[in-house]
Amino acid sequence: MHNDLATVLIDDARLQQRVRELGAQIAADYAETGDLLMVGVLKGCAMFMMDLARCIDLPLAMDFIAISSYGQSTESSGVVRLLKDLDTDIAGRHVLIVEDIIDSGLTLAYLRSQLDRRNPASLRICTLLNKPERRDPEVSISVDYLGFDIPNAFVVGYGLDYAERYRNLPYIGVLKPEIYSGH
Ligand code: IMP
Ligand code: MG
């Protein structure tokens, strides 16, 4: 598995350090609202959300949503589909969307507009990774909490997959192009 990677971009220690910083910042920002509902975008958010939640020293709730993205390719289809909706009614709630990565921004733009319509008290975005160079010029996303800006490369690990694999790597790495060049 490790041999399929060209480089390690962010190692485990840097990930955990940044997650602790984000957790502290979020805890400080939400302390006065008395409410925090973390909404994880499956499945890429899994590792990040669980580590982040443990670093937020506040009462909070968690829910999950699933959206189709790339299937088995590394390029966005531009077609976004809701695969699993929330269990929670978010009207009046302070909602924090937790994403693994923002690439074109299409997924998050869709999700934000869907959730906005349900009248949350507030709606913010937390993403572990961001690829600013890849943003669709038509899409404007304001990220409230960001782990790392990364260059334009296909990355895996710490929840991020290629064709459902590599999510369990404890670091973020760049996949060797020959691994996905056949697709
Ligand atoms: P967007 O709609 O183009 O912003 O794509 C966002 C989704 O695509 C993320 O939630 C990921 O599931 C997936 N994605 C984008 N870039 C990568 C990457 O480098 N590695 C793994 N998944 C990615
Ligand atoms: Mg994915």
- Looking at the chain, the whole-number percentage of residues with pLDDT higher than 90 is 78
- CA–CA dist 132, 141 (Å, integer): 10
Calculate mean pLDDT across residues 117-142. 93
The ligand with the least distance to the CA atom of 163 is 2
Cβ(80)–Cβ(68) under 8 Å?
A: yes
Region 126-145: what's the mean pLDDT?
Answer: 91
- For residues 47 and 169, give the distance between their C-alpha atoms in angstroms, rounded to a whole number: 10
pLDDT at 161 over 70: yes
pTM of the predicted protein model: 0.93
Whole-number Å distance, alpha carbon 25 to ligand 1 midpoint, is: 25
Work out the average pLDDT over 21-35.
Answer: 97
**pLDDT score for 181:** 77
Query: Ligand 2 centroid vs 71 CA: distance in angstroms?
Result: 7
If phi > 0 it is left, if psi is from -120 to 50 it is alpha, else beta; for residue 158 that is left
pLDDT tens sequence across 57-101: 999 999 999 988 655 556 665 567 889 999 999 999 999 999 999
Tell me what the mean pLDDT of segment 42-52 comes to: 97
pLDDT of residue 78: 58
Q: Is 45 in the pocket of ligand 1 (CB under 6 A)?
A: no
Q: Are 39 and 96 in contact (CB under 8 A)?
A: yes
Q: pLDDT at position 126, please? A: 98
Average the pLDDT over 116-136 and give the result.
95
Catalytically active residues, by annotation: 103
Does residue 111 have a pLDDT over 80?
yes
Predicted local distance difference test score (pLDDT) of residue 71: 53
Tokens representing 54 are 């443990």
